[in-house]
Amino acid sequence: MEFFDVLSKTRQKLNYVKSREDKLKSNEFNQGAEIWILNNNKLLITKRSMEKSHPGKWETPGGCSQNSELSIDTIIREVREEIGISLSEKDLELIGTQLYKKQFVDVFKASKVINVSNIILQKNEVSEFKFVTKDEFIRMVKNNEIVNSVSNRYFMFKDIIDLDW
């Protein structure tokens, strides 16, 4: 069972944890991270497993922070778990934070050449991956193929993401 730190609305730790199954109260929040990985001017996206919320929708890699975990450590762990790719802190740039519902989502970007033969999918989380151009991504947004929160963050941070599209 996974546990996370419960945070205040000002993102301060409240000195207790909850499990992912526990519902957050109105004054409780948690933290997560997402990453926009650019590889040869294409964006890496992953398709959510059919067992997860938003089944079959596409997103950028990410997830919830665990107990005592910094968001940068979260994104390094999530990318390694979900797609088998190792990132280091020097690969990452924090581009912004969004308070989405009950979660502070730190959004990172990385430009990294990825050999697709090194990608190993965590099947209970991710069913597919692909690299898309800007036009493909925008078409997928319009066709409602991208998880809404990811689409929202794209439009919120697209100038900061500085995609060379």
Q: What is the mean pLDDT of residues 18-46?
A: 94
pLDDT bin (cut points 50, 70, 90) of residue 159 is confident
Q: What pLDDT digit, counting tens, does each position of 60-113 carry?
A: 999 999 999 999 999 999 999 999 999 999 999 999 999 999 999 999 999 888
Average pLDDT taken over every residue of the chain:
94
- To the question of pTM greater than 0.75 for the whole model, the response is yes
Rounded Cα–Cα distance for residues 112 and 3 (Å): 31
Three-class DSSP category at 93? strand
Residue 10, CB-side half-sphere exposure with 13 Å CA sphere: 2
Helix %, strand %, coil % for the chain, to 5?
25, 35, 40
pLDDT at 164 over 70: no
pLDDT bin (cut points 50, 70, 90) of residue 17 is very high
- What was the pLDDT predicted at 163? 61
**Secondary structure (DSSP) of 27-75:** T-BEEEEEEEEEETTEEEEEEEPTTSSSTT-EE-SEEEPPTT--HHHHH
Burial of 33 (0-12, 13-18, 19+ CB in 10 A): buried
